[in-house]
Chains A and B, each alone.
Chain A
Amino acid sequence: MSNSNPTEIVELDVRTDEMLVNMGPQHPSTHGVLRLVLRTDGEVVSEAVPHIGYLHRCAEKIGENLTPRQFIPYTDRMDYLAGMNMNLGWALAVEKLLNYDLPDKVRHTRVMISELNRIASHLVGMGTYGLDLGTFSPFLYAFREREKILDLLEWVCGARLTYSYITPGGVTADLPSDWIGKCRTFLDQFEPQIPDYHTLLTTNAIFIKRTAGIGLMPAEMAIAYGCSGPVIRGSGIDHDLRRDGDPRYKAMYEGYDFEVIVQKNGSYPKDQVYPAVPDEAILGDCWHRFYVRMLEVIQAIKLIRQAMDFYEKASGDWGTPIKLNTKLPAGEAYLETEAPRGQMGFYVVADGGDSIPRRARARSSCFSNLSVVEELCRNCLIADIPAIVGSLDIVMGEIDR
Chain B
Amino acid sequence: MVIDESLLQKLRERFGDKIAGASLQSIDPWIEIAPEGLVEVCRYLKDEPSVAFDCLNSICVVDYCETDPKKAAKTSWQPHLEVVYHLTSVQRKTSGVIKVMLPRWKDGVEGEIPELASVSSVWIAADWHEREVYDLSGVYFVGHPNLRRILCPEDWVGHPLRKDYVMPLEYHGIRGR
Name B125's closest neighbour in chain A (CB-CB): A226
**Chain A residues closer than 8 Å to B152, beta-carbon distance:** 53, 56
Q: Annotate A361-401 by CB proximity to B: 1 below 8 A, 0 otherwise.
A: 10100011001000000000000000000000000000011
CB pair A334–B128 under 8 Å, yes or no, is no
Which positions 289-348 of chain A face chain B at CB distance < 8 Å? 331-334, 336, 343, 345, 347
Contact of B56 among A53, A64, A226, A237 (CB under 8 A): A226
The answer, yes or no, to whether B95 is at the interface (CB within 8 Å) is yes
User: From residue A104, how far is it (CB to closest CB) to chain B in Å?
Assistant: 23
Q: Annotate B134-177 by CB proximity to A: 1 below 8 A, 0 otherwise.
A: 00100000000000011111000000110100000000000000
**Chain B residues closer than 8 Å to A239, beta-carbon distance:** 90, 93
CB pair B27–A343 under 8 Å, yes or no, is no
**Chain A residues closer than 8 Å to B151, beta-carbon distance:** 52-53, 56, 58, 400-401
The answer, yes or no, to whether A96 is at the interface (CB within 8 Å) is yes
CB pair B161–A58 under 8 Å, yes or no, is yes
User: From residue B32, how far is it (CB to closest CB) to chain A in Å?
Assistant: 13
The answer, yes or no, to whether B105 is at the interface (CB within 8 Å) is no
Q: Annotate B83-100 by CB proximity to A: 1 below 8 A, 0 otherwise.
A: 010100010010101000
Contact of A334 among B64, B86, B136, B149 (CB under 8 A): B86
**Chain B residues closer than 8 Å to A336, beta-carbon distance:** 57, 95
> Chain A: how many interface residues by the 8 Å CB criterion?
37
Name A219's closest neighbour in chain B (CB-CB): B90
CB pair A363–B160 under 8 Å, yes or no, is no
| Residues of A contacting B: mostly | mixed
User: From residue B93, how far is it (CB to closest CB) to chain A in Å?
Assistant: 4
Name B126's closest neighbour in chain A (CB-CB): A226
CB pair A349–B62 under 8 Å, yes or no, is yes
Q: Annotate B12-56 by CB proximity to A: 1 below 8 A, 0 otherwise.
A: 000000000000001110000000000000000000000000111
Name B123's closest neighbour in chain A (CB-CB): A224
The answer, yes or no, to whether A60 is at the interface (CB within 8 Å) is yes
CB pair B27–A371 under 8 Å, yes or no, is no
Contact of B54 among A53, A223, A349, A368 (CB under 8 A): A223
User: From residue A2, how far is it (CB to closest CB) to chain B in Å?
Assistant: 43
Q: Annotate A14-58 by CB proximity to B: 1 below 8 A, 0 otherwise.
A: 000000000000000000000000000000000000001100101
Q: Assuming A223-B54, A226-B56, A246-B95, is B161 touching A60 (CB within 8 A)?
A: yes
Docked complex Cα distance between A401 and B26 (Å): 28
Docked complex Cα distance between A47 and B145 (Å): 16
User: From residue A79, how far is it (CB to closest CB) to chain B in Å?
Assistant: 16
The answer, yes or no, to whether B8 is at the interface (CB within 8 Å) is no
User: From residue A225, how far is it (CB to closest CB) to chain B in Å?
Assistant: 5
**Chain B residues closer than 8 Å to A61, beta-carbon distance:** 160-161
Q: Assuming A53-B151, A226-B55, A359-B60, is B161 touching A371 (CB within 8 A)?
A: no
Interface residues of chain B, those whose CB is within 8 Å of chain A, are: 26-28, 54-58, 60, 62-64, 84, 86, 90, 93, 95, 97, 123-125, 127-129, 132, 136, 149-153, 160-161, 163
The list of the 9 closest CB pairs from A to B, nearest first, reads: A226-B125, A363-B58, A53-B151, A244-B93, A371-B128, A56-B151, A224-B124, A359-B62, A361-B60
Q: List 9 A-B contacts (CB under 8 A).
A: A61-B161, A223-B90, A224-B124, A225-B124, A343-B57, A358-B64, A363-B58, A371-B127, A400-B151
